């Protein structure tokens, strides 16, 4: 009897926390809407680190040149001149002579983070006080800058947007959507609602004089992930990380299981190293643990196991689907199956994050470890 009650209560508590996170996220999120450019808008520099040609590269480039903002410059950064994306960027710049744009090539190795290294030259070349670091696979809406600027407050140190997966081609891409949207974005917005804003490197709006006064872009090399370093830096200044109310799309195209596993385990290991206290309870997210506890309680009480499983899955996934529907995110007849597969993967991803070793980050082999361990090795 005690086992039945304990397992039942634990399962119920986890399902309630799951529902609470969805409600908190929903309170912070808004469905996509157009924001007009304000009068007297300040000029903005947009730095886009690029590497390789992806399925949506042409479209994301075109979007970057089509923003509805009075004054902005585009600074594309590529580490190597032989990269095939150079030709596409040069062609896009030539097609849009009215938009100030430059392509900078070179690699400033200030850290083990290849994306951050690629951004350094762009940061140094930026002409304006407001700077956006934008990943090359972000599908910028015309009011991209407006949404970022609208989230800035007097106590803000950084504005970010999580990626919202769209246009999946195939089942595994739908699993990627399930990871990005109603799990990771949901928990990030729930955290912001509780005063725990975490940076996301996909789109980052900085006030350049503020960051330059506190170490400049080099300060983001303090952690293996620039968004983790950004979060800690902003918090140390007594400022907040804010998220845009309507996050931006990342079109996915095709994905394979191997790609998802590689990406999710890398991100999990980054979170484990940079924010271990917040990462540890991640094993409790998703439906796997509450489902297991509910089945233990049901077996102990002699209740139907299939009925219990269906009840738990409905309580877990119906609110997720309603969140996606309410915010205009991708949803299909296979979405619930994708969520189940995602949650089946979560315990394995969490366990994998506790093991060290090298990972691949866009073709770059790198070892994820704590800064303290790296410093000790350098001293030795």
Q: Is 150 exposed, middle or buried (0-12, 13-18, 19+ CB in 10 A)?
A: middle
Task: Give domain status of residue 343, yes or no.
Answer: yes
pLDDT at 31: 81
- Are 316 and 211 in the same domain? no
pLDDT at 231: 96
pLDDT at 298: 92
Q: Where are the alpha helices (DSSP H) in 237-287?
A: 257-274, 276-279
Q: Is 375 exposed, middle or buried (0-12, 13-18, 19+ CB in 10 A)?
A: exposed
CA dist 228 to 19, 152, 241, 374, Å? 27, 19, 11, 16
Cα separation of 221 and 171, whole Å? 36
CB atoms < 10 A from the CB of 71, how many? 13
- Are 129 and 218 in the same domain? yes
pLDDT at 364: 55
What are the pLDDT tens digits along the chain (380 aa)? 687 889 999 999 999 999 999 999 999 998 877 777 776 789 999 999 999 999 999 999 999 999 999 999 999 999 999 999 999 999 999 999 999 999 999 999 998 899 999 999 999 999 999 999 999 999 999 999 999 999 999 999 999 999 999 999 999 999 999 999 999 999 999 999 999 889 988 999 999 999 999 999 999 999 988 999 999 999 999 999 999 999 999 999 999 999 999 999 999 998 999 999 999 999 999 999 999 999 999 998 889 999 999 999 999 999 999 999 999 999 999 999 999 999 999 999 999 999 865 555 555 555 665 554 444 333 33
Per the listing, tokens 């030539």 go with 94
- Are 244 and 289 in the same domain? no
What are the φ/ψ torsions at residue 303 (nearest 5 degrees)? -90, 150
Task: Give domain status of residue 322, yes or no.
Answer: yes
Nearest partner of 124 among 216, 207, 49, 213, judged by Cα: 216
pLDDT at 373: 41
pLDDT at 165: 97
DSSP state of 111: S
- Are 75 and 121 in the same domain? yes
CA dist 354 to 163, 232, 286, 319, Å? 25, 22, 19, 30
Number of domains in the chain: 2
Q: Has this prediction a pTM greater than 0.85?
A: yes
Task: Give domain status of residue 266, yes or no.
Answer: no
- Are 21 and 38 in the same domain? no
Nearest partner of 134 among 88, 67, 186, 179, judged by Cα: 67
Query: Residue 76 maps to which CATH number?
Result: 3.90.550.10
DSSP state of 256: -
Cα separation of 380 and 378, whole Å? 5
Cα separation of 268 and 272, whole Å? 6
Give the range of the structural domain holding residue 292, as residue numbers without chain letter: 2-25+274-367
- Are 168 and 187 in the same domain? yes
Task: Give domain status of residue 376, yes or no.
Answer: no
The SS3 assignment for 60 reads: helix
Q: How many residues does the chain have?
A: 380
- Are 102 and 247 in the same domain? yes
Nearest partner of 179 among 361, 362, 345, 311, judged by Cα: 345
Task: Give domain status of residue 265, yes or no.
Answer: no
CA dist 143 to 63, 118, 149, 191, 247, Å? 10, 26, 10, 25, 12
Mark which of 203, 224, 256 sits at the end of a domain.
256
């Amino acid at each position: 009897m005690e086992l039945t009650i304990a397992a039942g209560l634990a399962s119920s508590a986890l399902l309630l926390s799951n529902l609470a996170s969805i409600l908190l996220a929903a309170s912070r999120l808004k469905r996509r809407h157009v924001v007009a450019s304000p009068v007297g808008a300040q000029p903005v520099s947009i730095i886009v680190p690029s590497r390789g040609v992806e399925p949506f590269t042409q479209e994301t480039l075109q979007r970057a040149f089509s923003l509805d903002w009075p004054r902005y410059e585009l600074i594309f950064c590529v580490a190597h001149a032989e990269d095939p994306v150079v030709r596409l960027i040069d062609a896009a710049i030539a097609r849009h002579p009215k938009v100030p744009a430059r392509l900078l090539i070179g690699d400033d190795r200030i850290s083990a983070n290849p994306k951050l290294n690629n951004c350094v030259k762009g940061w140094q070349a930026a002409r304006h006080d407001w700077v956006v670091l934008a990943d090359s696979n972000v599908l910028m809406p015309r009011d991209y800058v407006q949404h970022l600027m609208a989230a800035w407050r007097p106590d803000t140190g950084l504005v970010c947007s999580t990626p919202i997966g769209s246009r999946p081609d195939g089942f595994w891409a739908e699993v990627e959507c399930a990871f990005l949207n109603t799990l990771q974005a949901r928990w990030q917005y729930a955290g912001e609602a509780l005063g725990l804003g975490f940076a996301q490197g996909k789109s980052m709006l900085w006030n350049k004089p503020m960051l330059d006064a506190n170490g400049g872009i080099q300060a983001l090399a303090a952690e293996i992930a620039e968004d983790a370093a950004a979060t800690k830096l902003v918090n140390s200044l007594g400022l907040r990380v804010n998220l845009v109310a309507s996050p931006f799309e990342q079109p996915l195209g095709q994905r394979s299981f191997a790609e998802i596993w590689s990406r999710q385990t890398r991100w999990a290991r980054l979170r484990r190293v940079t924010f271990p206290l917040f990462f540890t309870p991640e094993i409790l997210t998703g439906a796997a643990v509450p489902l297991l506890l509910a089945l233990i309680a049901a077996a102990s009480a002699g209740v139907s196991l299939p009925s219990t499983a269906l009840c738990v899955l409905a309580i877990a996934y119906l609110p997720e689907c309603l969140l996606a529907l309410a915010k205009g995110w991708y949803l299909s007849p296979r979405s619930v199956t994708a969520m189940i597969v995602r949650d089946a993967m979560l315990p394995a991803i969490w366990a994998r994050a506790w093991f060290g070793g090298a990972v691949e980050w866009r073709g770059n082999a790198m070892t994820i470890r704590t800064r303290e361990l790296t410093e000790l090795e350098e001293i030795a």
